[in-house]
Amino acid sequence: EVTGGRATPGTRFADLFVSEEGEDALATLLVDAIDKPVALKTAGEESRDVNVFVTLNNSGRPSVAYIIDITEQRQLETRLAHGEKMRSIGQLAGVVAHDFNNVLQGIIFNYEELMTRHPVGDPSYEYLQSIHEFSSRARELVRMLLAYARAQTFKREIFNVTDFLSEFSILLRQVLDERVELEVKHGRDVPWIKADKNQLETAIINLATNARDAMIAHRNGGKLSIRTARSTGKEAHALGFNYVEDGEYLLIEVEDNGTGMPGFNYVEDGDYLLIEVEDNGTGMPRELLDKIFQPFFTTKEQGSGTGLGLATVYGIIKQSGGYVCPVSSMGKGTTFYIYLPALAAEEIPEPSDIAENTKPVVRPMDMSGRGRILLVEDEDGVRSIAATHLRQRGYEVEEACDGEEALDILTDMPGSFDLIISDVVMPGMDGPTLIREAKDKLGHARVIFISGYAERDLAQQLDDDRAVSFLPKPFTVRQLSERIKQELAGIGGKEAA
């Protein structure tokens, strides 16, 4: 079986194997196989990875050859290496996005400062608007990188997916071409989930636009189906999305699930919401399906795509605690199975609680205010412009370039600040460490953390019950001013919203 029936009497032993380096290299490897295993590939159409081990008799001649099939071991090693590669790319994407967010923060602040000096009608106004448009595009790219790296700031809420998709499908029809038919089918007893609605919308839109482009390019149209259902981990396994112990992105070989194509990820046992996004396009070959979640991989023409669409989908679903599993058949189309953890009945709030939580947040109109603020930011340009704008709005601002300087200021002036605004990641003492070390000197001050990374559970790092909030970079001066108004109003101090 291992040699595909080629090991018959009269066949040369060396003819059972192949070497990419030629027959001389193969002969050398077979000599090396005496008394130690050597990795080779079998000859034939269905080549397999094997370890070959040859023993000698008392006369010193080859006596017995052991051929051990290690194909599955090699496949597992390849999958593990692929998973490690995906993790490394994700970490790199997160670091790049963080640093680029800091750069964008400076660009946005400088743009806003220049807009106050060059209003509509000024010769420079159009150029400033171009800067704003390019920075917005850059911010969107960074957002997709953070999504892939699973490092976005999520605003999770509990909601019914049937209602969500019914409303969202109206927007989705506008995104799709008129040549693409959209069908949405809701399953019975569909579970509630806790997720970020905006991020889930982004994931579905990315899948839908990819399907749209493929169907129009190859068939001048088609049908996109979105279906929901209650599912379980066992049902996912039955489809070929099997359990892999480490739980990271790994390709699972499906021997026979009716598609002949692979699935991705394992799905743990438990209850899930299943969202299927299916198109009837041309499908994808195996070699493409292996790469679709890699950032910057695209099959579109140059300039037609960023290669981040499916990478963003992957990151959003994984950060939501779920799994995305594509299956494709050439000539039939592609289906993405999205599994999101279902909420238990006792976790679903009462309708009155949902209504209370969905009340719109009142945005303050007046951005001026009173209060004493300590601003801690290691980027000099960002800190300087932010402090200038806040002073123009009536706040007293003390600046610190790192955690150590901020701690010195708090030690010299304990309890004298209403609000601490601090970057999270800084050289030396980081933001959470600063707040933890200075907790006896903060008085009633509230804390806003700012960072190019996603929000972490920062409150758990502070060793007390101090209220903290998070503002992800890049943000505008108005967004910062609104958050300050909300925070200072929360302490009932000098500020009122």
Q: What percent of the chain has pLDDT over 70?
A: 77
Domain residue spans in the chain? 13-69, 74-148, 158-347, 372-490
Which tens digits make up the pLDDT trace of 55-67? Answer: 888 777 887 888 8
Q: Give the model's pLDDT for residue 124.
A: 92
Return all residues near 73 (Cβ < 8 A) that are at least 6 apart.
49
pLDDT attached to residue 259:
38
- For the purposes of burial, counting CB atoms within 10 Å of the CB of 131, is it exposed (0-12), middle (13-18) or buried (19 or more)? middle
Average pLDDT over residues 360-378: 77
pLDDT at residue 351, as a whole number:
64
pLDDT at 410 over 60: yes
Is the pLDDT higher at 465 or at 350? 350
pLDDT in tens, 425-481: 888 898 889 998 998 999 889 999 998 765 554 545 555 566 688 888 889 888 999
pLDDT at 391: 93
Confidence of residue 196 (pLDDT cuts 50, 70, 90): confident
Question: Residue 243: what pLDDT?
Answer: 36
Mean pLDDT across 298-312: 67
Q: Which two tokens stand for residue 9?
A: 């009497």
Q: What is the rounded CA–CA span in Å between residue 228 and residue 274?
A: 6
pLDDT at 151 over 70: no
State how far the Cα of 252 lies from the Cα of 98, in Å rounded to an integer: 32
Q: What is the DSSP letter of 371?
A: -
Topology given in CATH for the domain delimited by 74-148 = Helix Hairpins (1.10.287)
255: which 2 tokens?
A: 């021997």
Q: What is the pLDDT of residue 247?
A: 35
Predicted confidence at residue 321, as pLDDT, reads 85
* The pLDDT value given to residue 408: 95
Residue 142, both tokens? 């960074």
d(CA 422, CA 425): 9
**CATH classification code of 372-490:** 3.40.50.2300
**pLDDT tens across 224-283, in order?**
999 999 998 888 888 877 532 233 333 333 333 333 334 444 555 678 999 999 998 888
Q: Pick the more confident residue, 111 or 143.
A: 111
Judged against a pLDDT cut of 90, whether residue 484 lies above it is answered with: yes
**What is the pairing mode between strands 271-279 and 323-329?**
unpaired
Mean pLDDT taken over the chain: 79
Compute CA distances 21 → 50, 75, 397, whole Å. Answer: 17, 22, 70
End-to-end alpha-carbon separation of the chain, Å?
77
158-347: which CATH architecture?
A: 2-Layer Sandwich (3.30)
Instruction: Reply yes or no on whether the pLDDT at 107 is more than 80.
Output: yes
Q: Do residues 45 and 14 make contact, with C-beta atoms less than 8 angstroms apart?
A: no
**For residue 79, what pLDDT is reported?**
65
pLDDT for residue 356 is more than 50: yes
Closest CA to 113 of 477, 398, 401, 446: 477
Q: Specify the length of the chain in residues.
A: 497
Which range has the worst mean pLDDT, 82-96, 263-277, 379-393, 470-484? 82-96
Give the DSSP letter string of 173-223: HHHS-TTEEEEEEPPTTPPPEEE-HHHHHHHHHHHHHHHHHHHHHHHS-EE
- Answer yes or no: is pLDDT of 202 > 70: yes
Q: How far is CA 58 from the centre of its chain?
A: 62
**The predicted structure's pLDDT at residue 390:** 92
pLDDT category at 302 given cuts 50, 70, 90 is low
pLDDT value for 401: 93
Question: If 0-12 CB within 10 Å is exposed, 13-18 middle and 19+ buried, where does residue 167 land?
Answer: exposed
Q: How far apart are CA 488 and CA 462, in angstroms?
A: 20
pLDDT for res 88? 67
